[in-house]
Amino acid sequence: MSGFVSFVSSGPGDPDLLTVKAVDRLQKAEVVLFDDLSAGPILEHAGPEADLIGVGKRAGRASPKQHHVSQVLVDHAKAGLRVVRLKSGDSGMFGRLEEEITALKAAGIEFEIIPGVTSASAAAAAAGMPLTRRLTARRVQFITGADVTGDLPSDVNMAALADPAATTVVYMGKRTFAGLAARLVEHGLPGDTPAMLAEAVSTPAEKLTRYTITSLATHLETTSSTTPALIFYGPLAEPET
């Protein structure tokens, strides 16, 4: 008899941001496959007998291949176990959720998806700013700054990304933002457009730093860090007054 898989969104790192349903599934799980950013205090909600398996991927580090992660998920569910696939942030936001769902469907395994707080919402809250604003920011767009090769995606809609009336949040974009910023300026976005670098969101190491898109590009070109981060730019990422 097949088991059941719960895709549990762990939020950006602060265990207090877990939903009640997420905690319930962690407590009942027999196996937890977790991302690197979901480790630490969040795993304390798992039962003492649960088998904890790290399957996280981090840029520039040796990481399990996606097909291997999907197969491990299927194998444990086929053994009749209650499995939690613990994903950082919201599981549907740049989290390879679709590949794992496809594998489960092919194996005839039932699943559920438990949404969570994405790091963009947590970072905006920490900065004390909304993601939308009447008249000046009626649209929010979340993008990835890296394709499967780690480079800036070649098919991005630059007209949309250079829209001065949109709040844009770039996930996984530290290594490619300098190139993106240059293209944004070429497409008419002013170089002094406000930007914010949000690092280690909702953890004790959280750091929010204000820039312009030009100064942030320079900063990221001249520094190196493995700290997970988001980049905001647009009318909401304004310097504090």
Active-site positions read 35, 57, 172
| CB atoms near residue 233 (< 10 Å) | 26
| CB atoms near residue 35 (< 10 Å) | 22
d(CA 50, CA 28) in angstroms, rounded, equals 8
The amino acid at residue 65 is K
Q: Are 7 and 112 in contact (CB under 8 A)?
A: yes
Q: What is the DSSP string of 182-203?
A: HHHHHTT--TT-EEEEEESTTS
d(CA 241, CA 235) in angstroms, rounded, equals 14
10 CB burial (10 A radius; 0-12, 13-18, 19+): buried
Residues in the chain, how many?
241
**Three-class DSSP category at 54:** strand
